[in-house]
Chain A
């Protein structure tokens, strides 16, 4: 008999105080509690984390890489958002 599919979860771990939770992988588990326990066992065997988030994979909406041109184009033309766009005389020093 084929094995039925178990839901997929994405795992995010805060490795140190002050850092953001970072995506580190995924796993299968029937529910959120088991997903958290499995995430601890799979991704933090050497104390890699202080905190874990698990998110059902299906709950993530991602942008389409094929449309990255259209998606990110608006920012490309706005070079005036970068500090290097502005001229400050050298005598003024670092700013």
Chain B
């Protein structure tokens, strides 16, 4: 770890000011990703701005009937929050499928959005990586790429975003609230993370001086028909190879609305609204689920070790939709 100076932010404006005046400064919340990356010399901030004592640690109802999750509420407190469990169980499930109890007690909602890829070359400073060092080259494309992306890749980077929470947030059409030098703004979750394109070093559309203050959940929680399916190398405490957040609104056997987001397959939570819409007005049958799965994975491209993810994702989509559709009868 490099040496750095430390300051504790007293208010949001102060934190934003600190970040705006020092480009090499970084916010720190739970520290579970940043400290790890600092120990590996991948992140080398010269100053840490401790934001953990800012008053962004509440979960509260919004005027429109939704729920606001403070950026500093821990992942554990969010997943076990009574309102989240009751109204947004998909989000609870997704969070609880990630990391470990200790890490969830530390990790914050803001930090979870900004966690960086687990690509092993990104972590290994002895190998070239465009995300760590723009222009250096990508070691994964022709290297060992079992965990890497099959959708939305570029010839510069094929990394995946590792978050489970964000997959559920995308399905719920969450909105990220941020505060920066030029004021406050909101960013729909779908537009928060970027595809790698020619600038894989930039993960998100958050400005350098911007701080996440909260995540808003719209009223619709899909509590009756949802599933979070995470496929991984072991039963617990592992990142997803493929994950699927499925949420359905049904009337009888007919699907009125479907939301489907994939994790572990792209540089951001992967949603294809056109493919999703194929389910509108359709019966909840295996055949219809298969049609959507094929449509979502049509443009997928494997890189050798990760090509299995394409078939795996199709099957995971079908299974997740089946679970979501059958929930009531399973109860």
Q: Do A and B bind each other?
A: no
Residues of A at the B interface (CB closer than 8 Å) are: none
Residues of B at the A interface (CB closer than 8 Å) are: none
